[in-house]
Each structure stands twice: as structure tokens, then as C-alpha cells.
Structure 1
């Protein structure tokens, strides 16, 4: 039991460490730019956040942990997906959006309030931000979050747990870590959003567990986010109505 609690503690600690390092880097860079007389625009803010959070903090914390334990990066599974694995990517995306639409309808029907992701507000107010988020989803968000939370956290927890509980625990940590990026008027909305986020988190964890190829959840994660970002752009620019767009309605499920 102690070893299992230790594994969960390490997994949670790694997630918090990633967020903590990211926060220090983002705040420090913003302060330095301000002292240098540089205006931090919304676009510059989102670019810095992507580079320093997923690109430096998450990848850095994950890599340093693997190096400290003497675990080769290649052992977490980084290879070109096979035809079958590309099929899994497509299937996982379809399942994710079926889930997203179902949750959207359920929340609407029950009048349940969900918290919004901070990225939503920024993208709605400044649609041009999405032009940076789209490539960032594939180059930084997918690789950074999947390496830390699937390649490192999930593998650490799986050392002490069997497949199903291991994936569930790691997915719960991944979902909970997103609480800092949420905006809500009451705590219950945050809990609803964390619950919603468990869906795509479990899918990402399950396909990594099945394929043992980190590139597979990276592709799913990047594509899923980019489709939601594009949906936000269409809503923000008035190309589609928000009420008719499930991805924009439940952007809370943005991992």
C-alpha cells in the first residue's frame, strides 16, 4: 500500500512541479519584458505561455525525471505510428467528439454550469490567437503534456498498479492539474469541468496503455485541441453560432 501511495504522490508531485515551473517561467518572463518596456499583448502572452509551459516546463520536468531515474527516453515509446495505430488515432478522435457532443447536450439539458478554460476567453476576445494555438497544439501542447502525464506520470503509477486503475489514477491527476486554467463563479462548476475532462483524459491514457507509443496520444491530443481551437475561431469571428457548436459549448473538455 505504501508503494502505491508513493507512486500516486510522485505522479501528482510531477504534475504540480510542471505547473509550478511553468508559472515561475511565465511570470518571470512577463516581468522582464515589462521592465524592458515591451508591451505584453494577448498574442505574445499566449505564445510565451505555450513555449514556457508545455515546451520548457512540462518537457523539462519529464525529461529530468527520466534522466534522474536512468530511464531512456526511447523506453516510453516514441516511434512512427503503424497503419493500425493511425487507425486508433482516428477512432479515438471520433470517440472523443461523440463524448464531447453527448456531454454538451447533457449539460445543456440539465442546466449544469461548467467552468471555462482561460484560453476560451482569450480566443473569443482575440481570435488571431487561434492562429498560434493551432500549430502549438501539435508542436507543444500535445508533446509536452503527453510526455509528462502519459510517458512519465502514467508509467510511474503503472509500476505499482495494474492497467485499468493505473490509467484511471493517472488520468485523474491529468484532469485535476487543469484546475488552475479554469475560470468559474463557483467551485461546483470547476468540479463539473474536471469531471468532463476525465473523458478525453481516459481515452488518451487508454490508447497509450494499449499502443505503448507516445506519438499516438500526441497526435490525438494535438488534433483534438486544434479542432476545438478552430471551432472557437469560427464562433469568435461569427462564422457559426455558438449555440450550435458543441466544441465551443463544452470547451471545458479542452485538455
Structure 2
């Protein structure tokens, strides 16, 4: 597999540090612009009387705006840094479909297995805000299925696998890039959690492990669209399960 690992060309540690800082910067910009976009969208809805802050509509629109903000931040950064070459994407072929199926199954199995292991030690991962809101109003889970497929997964993968992992790959190679990008992916989820202490740490670790799977799939397929679809289908499946559980349409999962 061809590599754009800079160290193979004898690039010094200063350039590697620059790529590391670039990866952290693009993530920070995405989070910042996403927060600003979400706030502006919410303000417009409130000021126009369309939807109050605590309404489902406001939450869904905020979520969409946040992840669109992610995309704008990445596009702006890669344009200014002339670094679009770090992205790898093409149409999904039959091999890609196989990776998608295997990826979704792996993520579901891994998250279930890790949660089961943590429960043996009395550790319960913190709750994501969207899950807490959906348990109070289950229709949120249904709205979040298209939102996660069209906005959350594409733009999160663009930030963490496409931009951050791509920038890190130039300096450290694929394996280290996957590890660092996944750790950052897990850490960023802290801002969306309810709870603290061990529960937050457990959630971050699980998210980071899932990130390793997504990052590995990206490196194996050389196609960003594959982890995007895997991520979207995984989230959509979890939202569907949460909706079934919250509405009492099926027994709660053990």
C-alpha cells in the first residue's frame, strides 16, 4: 500500500510536530465553529418564535447546524493549508460494501462486549445528551436516524478520519495516526456527556476504541466514504434500538 508518510522521505521532527498541531487545530476549529453554528441556529429559531430552546425541533436543527459547522471548518482549513490531498475518497465498490457490513457488525459487537465487561466492574459509561433527551421524548431517536446518516457521520468522519488522521498519517504513518486520531475522537465526546468521573472516562475509552475500528477501516480501504457509511449505520442502529426500548415496543436489551 502506498504511503505519504513524511518520515519515509526524511522529514524532521519539527514537521511532524507541525502535522500534530495541525490535526489538533482542525479538530478545535471544527468544535468551535460547530458550537457557533448551533448557537446561531438556535437563536434564529427562538427569536423568530419558531421553536423554543428546549423543543425537539430546536435540538434537531442545532445538531444539524453543529455538524455542518464541522464541515465548513474542515473545508476552510484544508483550503487555507492547501492540504486537500490528505483526503482519500471514491465511489464505494463491492469490496467496500463488504467492509461496511463487517464494520457495522464489529462496532456493535465491540460496544456491546466492552459495555458487558465494564458492567462486571460496576462501571456504567456516562450518558450522551441525545440519549437522555430521547428517553424523555422518544421521537428524538427517530429524527436522529436521518440526521446521523446525513450530517453526524459524514462530518465527524471528515474531521477525525479525513482531516486529522490524514494530517497525522503524513508525520507518523497509518498506525500511530489511527491511535492519536481515535484518542482525540474519544476525548471530544466529553462535551456531549451527562455524568462524570469514571463514567465519563469509560465513555471516552469506548468511543476511542470504536474510532480505532473506523480509522483502521479507512486505512484499509483508502476510501473515506466507507467509514462514513459504517459510522452512520452504526449510530442509526443504536437510535432505532433506543426508540424500540423507550417506546416499549420490545423488551429492553440486556
1:1-255 mapped onto 2 (5 Å cutoff): 1-40=13-52, 41-54=54-67, 56-72=68-84, 76-184=87-195, 186-242=196-252, 244-245=253-254
Q: Distance in 2 between matches of 1:28 and 1:81?
A: 35
> Quick check: 2:123–2:198 contact (8 Å CA) kept in 1?
no
3-state DSSP class of the match of 2:172?
coil
Shift of 1:98: 1.4
Q: Distance in 2 between matches of 1:164 and 1:208?
A: 11
Q: Distance in 1 between matches of 2:20 and 2:62?
A: 27
3-state DSSP class of the match of 2:223?
coil
Q: Distance in 2 between matches of 1:77 and 1:5?
A: 22
Q: Distance in 2 between matches of 1:173 and 1:234?
A: 31
Shift of 1:141: 1.0
Shift of 1:131: 2.1
How many residues align? The count is: 241
Q: Distance in 1 between matches of 2:69 and 2:173?
A: 29
> Quick check: 1:127–1:233 contact (8 Å CA) kept in 2?
yes
Q: Distance in 2 between matches of 1:71 and 1:117?
A: 33
Cα RMSD, aligned residues only: 1.7
Q: Distance in 2 between matches of 1:241 and 1:49?
A: 32
Q: Which aligned runs of 4 or more in structure 1 are off by greater than 4 angstroms?
A: none
Normalised by the length of structure 1, the TM-score is 0.88
* Structure 2: runs of 5 or more not aligned: 1-12
* Structure 1: runs of 5 or more not aligned: 246-255
Q: Distance in 2 between matches of 1:128 and 1:85?
A: 32
Normalised by the length of structure 2, the TM-score is 0.89
Shift of 1:5: 3.0
Shift of 1:63: 0.9
> Quick check: 1:96–1:203 contact (8 Å CA) kept in 2?
yes
> Quick check: 2:45–2:58 contact (8 Å CA) kept in 1?
no
Q: Distance in 2 between matches of 1:2 and 1:187?
A: 36
Deviations 1:132-168 (A, max 9, x none): 2111121111111111111111101111001111110
Shift of 1:72: 4.2
